[in-house]
Structure 1
Amino acid sequence: MSDEQSQPPDSPQDDARSKRMAMGMVFGLMAGVVLSLLIDSWAYLGVGVALGVAFGAIPMGTKDATEE
């Protein structure tokens, strides 16, 4: 990997990725609690967290000017 392609550790992409992952976990946790209460099985709490992490890991469809 060349120096042009490497990003500094505190790049805006990393910051946005970590915020998206955290928000996905939060919303997944809320969805898991709702599913657990509706279905009356607390196993769906884990399903909600897993869905939130998966949602947070999906990259956004827009490209920054720095990625060109």
Structure 2
Amino acid sequence: MNKSPQQSSIFKEAWNNMSRDIEKILPTTGRQGSNKKRFILWLFVIELVVFGVAGKFLYDWLSG
């Protein structure tokens, strides 16, 4: 695996990739820095809650 010189961390690369993907679906007014970061943060929190609730119900269902 070749590591590009400008990327010092896999986390920065993942953040940049996620930001680029999110930017494609955001309207032009939501593409500014603080609005985009806030949107990504809320999306992450909602994702955690949804997966947590779904995981709890799946665990309860499988464990009887």
Ranked by relative contact order (alpha carbons within 8 Å, sequence separation 6 or more), the top structure is 1
Bin of the TM-score, shorter chain as denominator length: 0.3 to 0.5
Structure 1 length-normalised TM: 0.44
Q: Given the two structures, how large is their TM-score scaled by the length of structure 2?
A: 0.47
